[in-house]
Amino acid sequence: MKLPAEALAEGCAALGLDLSPVQQARLLQYLALLQKWNRVYNLTAIRDESKLVSHHLLDSLAVVPHLRGRRVLDVGTGAGLPGIAIAVARPDLEVVMLDSNHKKLAFVTQAIGELGLANATVERTRVEQWHPAAGFDTVISRAFAELPDFARLAGHLLAPGGRLLAMKGLHPHEEIAALSEGFTCEQVLTLDVPGVEARHLVVLAPSIAAEA
């Protein structure tokens, strides 16, 4: 079995990501922190270390090349995924991680502090109730809701020209078909994540009528 550092380095190379040794060390530090807190707070069902690398770190990093703009919102971040990985990989971005779960955000806040992520913040609220002063270029969700609900609840948080990104397992044909008139599916990208069987990234854009 590969050591986490080796699996992460090989995975980043496979994803085409050039992360520095410092960035990779931060990601492994996050993983160690997650494992420590998980023993008490049950933040993730995954216990196997190799799967933590593939199904959490690499899975989250796979979306990095597809982000647009400077402001990114991670809706339903849970234990900080994909937000923490994005913030580590892209220190030039402003990353906000939103969740209504106090216990999980307490962990995320601790992780941000220990990793020294000056570009990351948390917001504890329900997504539909949050109305920040400025919108986001990218609003991403890893395991928040089905596409119609994601668009309905988080669509108002987009800046002009912004996009919703939804991480899915199998191609969500039925969810796409159920989208309302307010949003359209711009594209569905197949992500080849080392160690993960199926992963798709659905890009949703406000319809022309909704933007007008």
- Which band of pLDDT confidence, cut at 50, 70 and 90, is reported for residue 194? very high
Domains of the chain in sequence order: 4-211 (3.40.50.150)
pLDDT band at 46 (very low <50, low <70, confident <90, very high): low
pTM across the whole model: 0.94
What pLDDT does 179 receive?
A: 95
Residue 209 has pLDDT above 60, yes or no: no
What would the pLDDT profile of 98-134 be if each residue is shown by its tens digit? 999 999 999 999 999 999 999 999 999 999 999 999 9
First to last CA, the chain: 54
Collapsing DSSP to helix, strand or coil, 172 comes out as: coil
pLDDT digits (tens, 9 = 90+) for 157-193: 999 999 999 999 999 999 999 998 899 999 999 999 9
Percent of the chain clearing pLDDT 70 (strictly above): 94
Minimal CA–CA distance to 207: which of 163, 173, 154? 163
∠ CA(49), CA(67), CA(85), 5° rounding?
Answer: 25
